[in-house]
Structure 1
Amino acid sequence: MRKVSVYDTTLRDGEQTPGISFPLNYKIQIAKQLDKLGVDYIEAGFPAATKGEFEAVKEIVKLGLNSKISALARLVKEDIDVAMKTDVDMIHIFVPTSKIQVEHTIKKDREEIIQEAVRYVEYIKDHGFECMFSAMDATRTEVDYLKRIYKAVEEAGVDIINVPDTVGVATPFSMYELIKELKEHLKVPVDVHCHNDFGLATANTYAAVKAGADEVQVTVNGIGERAGNACLAEVVMALHALEGIKTNIRTEYLVETSRLVERLSGIKLPPNTPIVGENAFAHESGIHAHGVLKHAATFEPGVITPEMVGHKRRIVIGKHAGRHQIKKILEDAGYAVDEETLTKITEKIKEIGDKGKKVTDLDVITIAEVIMGELSKEERVINIDEATILTGNKITPTAVINAIIDGKKKVTSAIGVGPVDAALKAVAELVGEDVKITEFKMDAISGGSDAIAEVYVTVEDKEGRSFTAKGASTDIVMASIEAVISAVNYLLRMRRKNA
């Protein structure tokens, strides 16, 4: 079975995303996660760029990870010497080769560039390091010249050559032809590095592998210069699921890795991001949801499941919802409804959705109870008696909550990074460690300093059952508490009804 290597450059090219600068502790967290994910190479940085960059690469090397560590260097002896001092496994050297970049950046004779490339490959190999060579802007470089410089470094002992689509102008067709031609000309392994200026980075990387590329350069969430790089999750899953081409990636950690980089980079992923996005396995349309509830492959690719990438399938309620998904939510909560009642509930949900409102699981059950005349019979397992929140410049945010659970008084307290975090942790303590908050979102639904905040939370128990609810208040903290308590109450009631 064919296998390709994965070279991750999140810590180098990914950090070149405008607005991103990872401090050392973030870089270490990301490096450890990439190692857990199973990438073959981690490009830890550009040591000659700054003193901090040099120290960060050295510290990552000291972690003793299973992934090999690579450092970037220009075709400059001082850069290469600095990179060597970090004790990385591989030194990745690059030089511009396209006419436009040679004329306007390094302004060297193109024969001289080949000679220098050979000299520094030999220099790196003589010092016992692996060497990767990149002809920068390869996809705008004449193919004959590319072949010459790549053949020259191959004969000098380079371990792998990289073909960068530096400004993202390749197409899957042109990339396929280029890699195919280079593979016929070279014996050394070929790697590709694709940028996403036209949204083709993943497609170009995929095409390169189809043409024979041995390694792919990617970043987590596709972050990187300008429009970013080829996305690790997309490339890996396209190869695994569509082509049966394997990598060493432990795909069950893809979502976990994506969310870590999302949090540390501050770049929020659109919910419709393939593979790892919030909506990647979410279904609202009644037709789709009905099919998925019967057999997941009806409206999902089939060759990939949410569990494969560390995700979960979600059936979302909205104006496109169908009777089957609404009935499923009610049955899970212990309610049996006849067809006439189900029709009324469905119509009411669609009416709310038409007004632009988000419909939560709790809304479905509340609507059902009102229509069935059972709202007055609601028994809350948990009732908040009093909540006190302490916060300030020199005060660790602390929440103290007095509650009544099944008729018994209970007091809990917790600290957090902010008042909302502290409050949510205190609420979670009320019901024990088997219930956790998996999602938290907030929207202001009116303007001004007294804006009403609408908070949505999803709570999950140890059996994997989850429930979404919302709270609304001019006090963000109380809206959060209200939402969590509502979700936990219904989750507990669901558990007891089905016991």
Structure 2
Amino acid sequence: MKRISVFDTTLRDGEQTPGVSFPINYKIQIAKQLDKLGVDYIEAGFPVASKGEFEAVKTIVNLDLDSKICGLARIVKEDIDSALDSGVDLVHIFISTSKIQIDYTIKKSREEIINDSVEAVEYIKDHGRECMFSAMDATRTEIDYLKEIYKAVEEAGVDIINVPDTVGVATPFRFHNLIKELREHLKVPIDVHCHNDFGLAVANTHAAVLAGADQVQVTVNGIGERAGNASLAEVVMILKSLEGIETNIRTEYLVETSRLVERFTGFRLPPNTPIVGDNAFSHESGIHAHGVIKEASTFEPGVITPEMVGHRRRIVIGKHAGRHQIKKMLEDAGYIVNEEDLTKIFEKVKELGDKGKKVTDLDLFTIAEVVIGELRKEDRAIVVDEITVLTGNKITPTAVINANVFNDSRVKSAIGVGPVDAALKAVRELVGETIKITEFKMDAITGGSDALAEVYVTVEDDSGKSFTARAAGPDIVMASIDAVINAVNYLMIKKRLDSKKKEKSED
């Protein structure tokens, strides 16, 4: 099968997500990440929208990326000139073609719309740039008129035709038929842009490719106007894993890219998000976990692995956990348990789960230590002696931690955007290793100004090993530090145990 081109519009349509606005430094970082990911086109913005938008697009053009850079423009000379002046490789022009939009927005005759579109394409081509033409609201446009305007711009020299489902009303079968009919009518490459108002953006994009579309428009995490656009990760992995259709995307960077955009938008993905969500390769059910431990493809698609997308597989403990997975997690952490002790640990985990508690790795190991009488407090990697946190109206939040790390006395400090951020950065400085906090949640578990805060964290080391822990207390800074240190303690102990096992095996 032919290779499909990927057109990413995170910086344009994605930024139209209500509540999202990327400052120029964010746009630069996202553009560089998209280039690293391997997208063919980056729609960097709408240059005429503002002076800042123009400068952002121009700056991205000057990054000299491998991806081609695109700028959006209405079929208005001022818009097109702004895009051309920004230096983009591709000018993406659009005009409404559906009856409802013609009647209520642009109020031009259909002949005028075609003539203006042709003139715009010719103007862009005369300036030596690539041109993409979009018939806005194509899926609500009469098919005969759609064919007429697309044929007119094709004859004018357009490079790519875009078929946008602007208001997200297409369905896969109808969209497949539309693209198939247009494919038979046109010679130029066809690109599709699908919105997710009915949750069908990815399905419609998939159907369009099977019908003959050459290029897909997507956004990272599916962000965009209203309910968003087709998700880059989902579209690419459906094409690759289920259809055997290749793209230029380096899929091992999908999760990394998703996390970057998640952080810059402030919109946290639901854990059950396909491909890149926290739970995409996580298993709690005992039956599923047992099968996955034996052979991953028993309860995963098989045609996709976590490593393919830069993810990791997790076995999660909860009330649905099975004895086999609990025993495996304990053994991996260096705990040797007999069947009698395993039964007690298993029952205690179920009891916690039935109370609605999220059972962390630390909870499991604490239960195990109590049951088998092997409390490891003397083996803790980090023992905190003193913590000082400074914050205030005119004070940069600063944390200083005095602690013993494997019996080595250390004092470390860090600044942050707030007291909790500063404290967590100080902990990272303390251990002197690459420790990432991949999940941080906080809930008030009692009412009032002296409410107890419960903090839940997941930390990960540079090898990809992760550990979950929780802590609670009236001081949110101290609860946060306790939770992180609890998790880091076990990660560091596990690292030492693994190192000792390796040394023994080599001997």
TM-score (norm 1): 0.97
Residues 211-255 of structure 1, C-alpha deviation per residue, up to 9 Å, x if partnerless? 010000011111111111111111011101111111111111111
1:310-329 to structure 2, matched below 5 A, reads: 310-329=310-329
Mapped pair 1:488 → 2:488: yes
Aligned to 1:229: 229
- The Cα of 1:432 is off from its aligned counterpart by 2.2
Aligned to 1:12: 12
Q: 1:4 to 1:324 in 2, by over 3 A?
A: same
Aligned to 1:76: 76
- Farther-moved stretch of structure 1 (199-208 vs 106-115): 106-115
Aligned to 2:126: 126
Q: Secondary structure at the match of 1:39?
A: coil
- The Cα of 1:410 is off from its aligned counterpart by 2.6
Question: C-alpha separation between the residues in 2 aligned to 1:12 and 1:493?
Answer: 46
1:96-495 to structure 2, matched below 5 A, reads: 96-375=96-375, 379-495=379-495
- The Cα of 1:313 is off from its aligned counterpart by 0.9
Question: C-alpha separation between the residues in 1 aligned to 2:477 and 2:377?
Answer: 28
Sequence identity (%): 78
The residue type paired with residue 141 of structure 1 is T
- The Cα of 1:445 is off from its aligned counterpart by 1.5
- The Cα of 1:407 is off from its aligned counterpart by 4.0
Q: 1:460 to 1:74 in 2, by over 3 A?
A: closer
- The Cα of 1:373 is off from its aligned counterpart by 2.5
Aligned length, in residue pairs: 499
Q: Secondary structure at the match of 2:467?
A: strand
- The Cα of 1:377 is off from its aligned counterpart by 7.1
Question: C-alpha separation between the residues in 1 aligned to 2:229 and 2:349?
Answer: 41
Q: Secondary structure at the match of 2:485?
A: helix
- Farther-moved stretch of structure 1 (485-494 vs 268-277): 485-494
- The Cα of 1:160 is off from its aligned counterpart by 0.6
Question: C-alpha separation between the residues in 2 aligned to 1:82 and 1:494?
Answer: 57
- Farther-moved stretch of structure 1 (311-320 vs 438-447): 438-447
Aligned to 1:41: 41
Aligned to 2:505: none
Question: C-alpha separation between the residues in 1 aligned to 2:92 and 2:407?
Answer: 66
Unaligned runs of 5+ in 1: none
Question: C-alpha separation between the residues in 2 aligned to 1:145 and 1:185?
Answer: 13
- The Cα of 1:436 is off from its aligned counterpart by 4.2
- The Cα of 1:290 is off from its aligned counterpart by 0.7
- The Cα of 1:435 is off from its aligned counterpart by 4.3
Residues 365-409 of structure 1, C-alpha deviation per residue, up to 9 Å, x if partnerless? 111121222338753332111111112232222211122334443
Question: C-alpha separation between the residues in 2 aligned to 1:100 and 1:406?
Answer: 71
Q: 1:61 to 1:177 in 2, by over 3 A?
A: same
Residues 85-120 of structure 1, C-alpha deviation per residue, up to 9 Å, x if partnerless? 111111111111111111111111111211111111
- The Cα of 1:440 is off from its aligned counterpart by 2.4
The residue type paired with residue 82 of structure 1 is S
- The Cα of 1:496 is off from its aligned counterpart by 4.1
Question: C-alpha separation between the residues in 2 aligned to 1:54 and 1:283?
Answer: 46
- The Cα of 1:434 is off from its aligned counterpart by 4.8
Q: 1:99 to 1:434 in 2, by over 3 A?
A: closer
Residues 322-372 of structure 1, C-alpha deviation per residue, up to 9 Å, x if partnerless? 111111111011111112221111111011111011111111111112122
Q: 1:285 to 1:378 in 2, by over 3 A?
A: farther
- The Cα of 1:431 is off from its aligned counterpart by 2.5
Q: Secondary structure at the match of 1:269?
A: coil
- Farther-moved stretch of structure 1 (6-15 vs 49-58): 49-58
Q: 1:135 to 1:496 in 2, by over 3 A?
A: closer
Question: C-alpha separation between the residues in 2 aligned to 1:170 and 1:434?
Answer: 46
Question: C-alpha separation between the residues in 2 aligned to 1:23 and 1:404?
Answer: 41
Q: 1:152 to 1:282 in 2, by over 3 A?
A: same
Q: Secondary structure at the match of 1:179?
A: helix
- Farther-moved stretch of structure 1 (245-254 vs 449-458): 449-458
Question: C-alpha separation between the residues in 2 aligned to 1:129 and 1:492?
Answer: 55
- The Cα of 1:51 is off from its aligned counterpart by 1.8
Question: C-alpha separation between the residues in 1 aligned to 2:76 and 2:377?
Answer: 77
- Farther-moved stretch of structure 1 (440-449 vs 162-171): 440-449
Question: C-alpha separation between the residues in 1 aligned to 2:312 and 2:277?
Answer: 11
TM-score (norm 2): 0.95
Question: C-alpha separation between the residues in 2 aligned to 1:168 and 1:205?
Answer: 11
Question: C-alpha separation between the residues in 2 aligned to 1:462 and 1:60?
Answer: 31
Q: Secondary structure at the match of 1:356?
A: coil
Question: C-alpha separation between the residues in 2 aligned to 1:173 and 1:355?
Answer: 46
- Farther-moved stretch of structure 1 (479-488 vs 222-231): 479-488
Q: 1:79 to 1:451 in 2, by over 3 A?
A: same
Aligned to 2:503: none
Question: C-alpha separation between the residues in 1 aligned to 2:406 and 2:56?
Answer: 53
Unaligned runs of 5+ in 2: 501-507
